[in-house]
Amino acid sequence: MKTHDETTMSLRLVHSAFSREQALTDLDSFRRELAAAAAHTYTLTERVPLHNLTEWRMDRRDGVIRHRSGKFFTVQGIDVDVAGAAIPHWDQPIINQPEVGILGILMKEFDGVLHCLMQFKAEPGNCNGIQVSPTVQATRSNYTRVHGGSAVPYLDYFLDRSRHRVVLDSRQSEQGSWFLRKLNRNMIIEVSEPVEVVEGFHWLTLAQLNELLFTDDVINMDARSVLSCLPFTDVVLDQHGSAHTMVDLLSWITERRSTVDVTVRQRPLHRLSQWRYNGAEFSHVNSRFFDVIGVRVEARGREVGQWDQPMLAARGTGLVAFLTTRLDGVPHVLVQARVEPGFADFVQLAPTVQCIPDNYRDAPRADWPPFLADVLDADRRTVRYDAVQSEEGGRFHHIRSRHLLVEADAVPEHPDFRWMTPHQLTRLLWHSNYVNIQARSLLACLRAVTSVGPVANPRPAAAAPLGRAA
Amino acid sequence: MKTHDETTMSLRLVHSAFSREQALTDLDSFRRELAAAAAHTYTLTERVPLHNLTEWRMDRRDGVIRHRSGKFFTVQGIDVDVAGAAIPHWDQPIINQPEVGILGILMKEFDGVLHCLMQFKAEPGNCNGIQVSPTVQATRSNYTRVHGGSAVPYLDYFLDRSRHRVVLDSRQSEQGSWFLRKLNRNMIIEVSEPVEVVEGFHWLTLAQLNELLFTDDVINMDARSVLSCLPFTDVVLDQHGSAHTMVDLLSWITERRSTVDVTVRQRPLHRLSQWRYNGAEFSHVNSRFFDVIGVRVEARGREVGQWDQPMLAARGTGLVAFLTTRLDGVPHVLVQARVEPGFADFVQLAPTVQCIPDNYRDAPRADWPPFLADVLDADRRTVRYDAVQSEEGGRFHHIRSRHLLVEADAVPEHPDFRWMTPHQLTRLLWHSNYVNIQARSLLACLRAVTSVGPVANPRPAAAAPLGRAA
């Protein structure tokens, strides 16, 4: 019964992923509406010194930046020890937002094809104003109305699921270097009853979403996260040969988690040894990683017209990349077991490469992270996907990552790396704390390549000069 | 490939679970050897006031009891808030042992039948000296030799797995009311090479272990935990109809974890509001739950001859019980989503009933935990399993729990309870933090009933008078 249902759902998802023509919405007019919406719904975001924020203050006793209501999130300092690591000790600011929010996509079948209800959403940190977000993107503060905004459309489908079908419902982590133990509930709900479409919402097939994933900064991070969780799995596909059995992969993860020796201690922001307040922002002494900035936001077309808040701002564009290969004809990606201080279990599965290349501009290649050179030196004909995607625009100011999928030879494994099938990653997404947001985002892109094909990729996939997107 | 392997392993486990005659060891002589070992290997455990411990001290600044080396574990106080719960606030002592130990069973096939290498092990808290433990039961301190003991036999099979087959390797929680976020690595390794049998170790089939599970206090808690993780799962069995799909069950767990509002704060032991130091032990003001005691231990036949340590001591025998039923012919157990302050995610799957009945001796039935009355009033003909099992003897002094499996009607579900198949529980044991130790222990007993049958149960399964085992 259950297995049958699972296989059926997987086949319906595959059908939607190949349904470009049978869609309810025309993609060209969707793009025009997106452009039009960006013209009249936007946020004006102005950088202001942190100490000029009106709603936020740093408490001098514990060095934590808090909202005056005590709600939303805080920015605090942490001191990290990772015994035996290449960088065994550092300190840094980090966002603490312990509430579990909801990122939800509503699905419904039209003419036999599953569609996703997607939202135009402006976020203050977006480099381009509006991006395409899940149906619902609600922090707990949002839906308990701490900031007095209006009700979140469609939220009830996710809170009361008795009349609907749950396709997936799992808590997933966010950036473990920027968030302390943050989890959001990623949900996909299928409804069969009629759904009224509110302005700014559109029904898209997975094929259309996949096509949009080939354009920079269109599908927002939360949408990529939920899309990555789609259960494209079934018993038949799982029987294909993978390099490692699931038992062996889980044992590898258990080993890493059991033996890593990480200590994270809270430390006041103004006592961090490697960070300085320059009168406006907290920055790393070597001007690397990110800055903690203040912003004043004026929004048009959002629930609340005006507010200010701290954000993290980028120092250079990130790079996330999977090496991909075929082993005995079966597609695999090279997955890294990566330590990030904000993860509940410290270790999660990450892309082959995840870094800010600018940080290594002056470093000898021997000091580069593993496989960074393989990705940056790759022959353009081996690049299957190349687009820049935005990180979440509610907390991050213009933070973007180049996403690359590079076909490679079956390089030998390394204690921290394993070849896994995309299906094995997908299986783990039924559970929390296995696959990090960067790997999930790339998994969504990988599925897009599989259904749309690399031919749709408009970017000349040249070997990227280091730090090209800075 | 993978799925095929999994099915094959499951069939081999079933074969072993029905192999009583083809075993390498005769069970009667095993029982005699166990009795003989208990006569010459034992621990003399004497209760002493906590302040008389020589190696342990309570730090008056933070109210934490520590070993002078800073190693092993600590006993600290916590203050717990669970918003909206029946008991929304309490404080208590709890053991903090952040290291991940290894509980490992070595398996090997003899004459086509899988056997487990089991160890006679004396623990200071055991009510009967020696019990049957996994092949390896090692804290990190054990295997890094903090206490200067001898090397742990067979540990290398679990540390270097390259030549062996990993059957299961997952970190599992321990008692969430007595341990703060404790995880042990539960491992099952199959070897094909010859294994030398050290004195005190014996090869047993699963059928033999199952039979031993019908005798009180023979199979220790760690062994029950590892045995519960045996992957008795395969695709064929999984296709049987369950009341809920795995997606719906995972969504239920996600919902509970996302909405529960638990706060755990550290508080000095001597500042706990509901606990007092009586000059020898920390006890609850109403003499309930447990005591924190000191013990002086003299061991014969163990690595270290003499030591002292704090332990938790019982106030009454616990009760853990599953209601079981058949839904459309398929066996189900009624599982509780239970909050315990020591769990990383606060909520795990627990037995239908998990409590100390003595605590409700004077309470009106309306205040009893759900289903406690159903279990205690059950007709003896519906009791499928009834034995008393010990909690871990390294930290707990004579703490025991009556284990019951009671066949019941398909009672309606309740927001905190769901009917699940044993196979669904087993599936979740591939991952951490889903199934608590009490439910795992009962799952091992349930499998014993399935293979041995209730006829082997020697205890007159009378409806138990409340607190009978106190």
Q: What is the ipTM of this complex?
A: 0.93
Mean pLDDT by 10 residues, chain A (470 residues): 70 92 93 92 91 96 96 96 94 94 97 97 93 93 58 92 94 97 97 96 97 97 98 61 92 95 96 96 95 93 79 95 94 96 96 95 93 95 96 96 96 92 94 98 94 52 40
Q: How does pLDDT run across B291-341, given as a tens digit for each residue? A: 999 999 998 765 558 999 999 998 999 999 999 999 988 999 999 999 999
* Contact flag B246-A2 (C-beta cutoff 8 Å): yes
Note whether B3 contacts A: Cβ–Cβ < 8 A.
yes
Tokens of B204: 């047993």
Instruction: Kindly report the pTM of this predicted structure.
Output: 0.94
Residues of chain A found within 8 Å of residue B161, distances taken between Cβ atoms:
251
> Given its phi and psi angles, is residue B340 left (phi above 0), alpha (psi -120 to 50 degrees) or beta?
beta
Instruction: Output the pLDDT for position B80.
Output: 98
Identify which of B2, B171, B344 has the shortest CB distance to residue A245.
Answer: B2
* Contact flag B166-A235 (C-beta cutoff 8 Å): no
Cβ neighbours around A96 below 10 Å, total: 18
* Contact flag A242-B166 (C-beta cutoff 8 Å): no
Which of B352, B355, B316 has its CA nearest to residue B177? B355
Taking one residue from A and the other from B, the number of pairs with CB-CB distance under 8 angstroms is: 91
Cβ neighbours around B399 below 10 Å, total: 25
Tokens of B250: 């995972």
Provide the sign of the torsion angle of the four alpha carbons A259, A262, A263, A264, taken in this order.
negative
B211 and B25 Cβ atoms separated by less than 8 Å: no
Q: What is B249-275 written as a DSSP string?
A: HHHHHHHHHHH--EEEEEE-GGG-SSE
Residues of chain B found within 8 Å of residue A2, distances taken between Cβ atoms:
238-239, 241-242, 245-246
Closest residue on chain B to A237 (Cα) = B3
- CA B470 to chain CA mean position, Å: 20
- What percentage of chain B's residues is helix, strand, coil (to nearest 5)? 25, 35, 40
Residues of chain B found within 8 Å of residue A246, distances taken between Cβ atoms:
2, 430
Instruction: Output the pLDDT for position A327.
Output: 92
Residues of chain B found within 8 Å of residue A182, distances taken between Cβ atoms:
none
Q: How far apart are CA B155 and CA A240, in angstroms?
A: 34
**Across B196-211, average pLDDT:** 96
Which of A438, A464, A317 has its CA nearest to residue A376? A464
Q: Are strands A74-82 and B290-300 parallel, antiparallel or unpaired?
A: unpaired
Residues of chain A found within 8 Å of residue B242, distances taken between Cβ atoms:
1-2
Q: What is B81-121 written as a DSSP string?
A: EETTSSS-EEEEEEEE--S-EEEEEEEEEETTEEEEEEEEE
Note whether A430 contacts B: Cβ–Cβ < 8 A.
yes
Q: How does pLDDT run across B405-414, given as a tens digit for each residue? A: 999 998 888 8
* Contact flag A242-B344 (C-beta cutoff 8 Å): no
Would you mind telling me the total number of residues written for chain A in this entry? 470
* Contact flag A430-B246 (C-beta cutoff 8 Å): yes
Residues of chain A found within 8 Å of residue B250, distances taken between Cβ atoms:
169-170, 430-431
**Mean per-residue pLDDT over chain B, rounded:** 90
Note whether A348 contacts B: Cβ–Cβ < 8 A.
no
B311 and B68 Cβ atoms separated by less than 8 Å: no
Would you mind telling me the total number of residues written for chain B in this entry? 470
Range 237-266 of B in CB contact (< 8 A) with A: 238-242, 245-248, 250-251, 254-255, 257-258
Best mutation site among A251, A264, A332 for testing chain B: the one with the most B CBs within 10 Å? Answer: A251
Residues of chain B found within 8 Å of residue A1, distances taken between Cβ atoms:
239-242, 245
Which residues have a Cβ under 8 Å from the Cβ of A23 and sit 6 or more positions away? A113, A115, A203, A204, A205, A207, A208
The model's confidence at residue B387, banded by pLDDT at 50, 70 and 90, is: very high
* Contact flag A3-B247 (C-beta cutoff 8 Å): no
Give percent of chain B with pLDDT exceeding 90. Answer: 79
What are the angstrom distances between the C-alpha of B136 and each of B102, B157, B230, B367?
Answer: 7, 10, 16, 42
Residues of chain B found within 8 Å of residue A239, distances taken between Cβ atoms:
1-4
pLDDT at B461 over 50: no
Q: What is A257-318 written as a DSSP string?
A: HHH--EEEEEE-GGG-SSEEE-SS-EEETTS-SEEEEEEEEEEESSSSSEEEEEEEEESS-E
Identify which of B4, B238, B255 has the shortest CB distance to residue A3.
Answer: B238
Which residues have a Cβ under 8 Å from the Cβ of A22 and sit 6 or more positions away? A111, A112, A113, A205
Identify which of B167, B254, B432 has the shortest CB distance to residue A185.
Answer: B254
Identify which of B170, B238, B239 has the shortest CB distance to residue A254.
Answer: B170
Note whether A44 contacts B: Cβ–Cβ < 8 A.
no
Identify which of A168, A241, A345 has the shortest CB distance to residue B247.
Answer: A168
Q: How far apart are CA B106 and CA B186, in angstroms?
A: 11
Note whether B159 contacts A: Cβ–Cβ < 8 A.
no
Q: How far apart are CA A426 and CA A442, in angstroms?
A: 12
Instruction: Output the pLDDT for position A361.
Output: 87
The model's confidence at residue B469, banded by pLDDT at 50, 70 and 90, is: very low
In the block, tokens 């203040």 appear at: A294
Best mutation site among A10, A144, A431 for testing chain B: the one with the most B CBs within 10 Å? Answer: A431
In the block, tokens 């975001």 appear at: A45
* Contact flag B166-A248 (C-beta cutoff 8 Å): yes
Tokens of A117: 């209800």
**Smallest CA–CA separation between B298 and chain A, in Å?**
31
Q: How does pLDDT run across B51-103, given as a tens digit for each residue? A: 999 999 999 999 999 999 998 999 999 999 999 998 999 999 999 998 899 99
Instruction: Output the pLDDT for position A236.
Output: 47
The model's confidence at residue B42, banded by pLDDT at 50, 70 and 90, is: confident
Residues of chain B found within 8 Å of residue A170, distances taken between Cβ atoms:
250, 254
* Contact flag B250-A430 (C-beta cutoff 8 Å): yes
* Contact flag B169-A4 (C-beta cutoff 8 Å): no
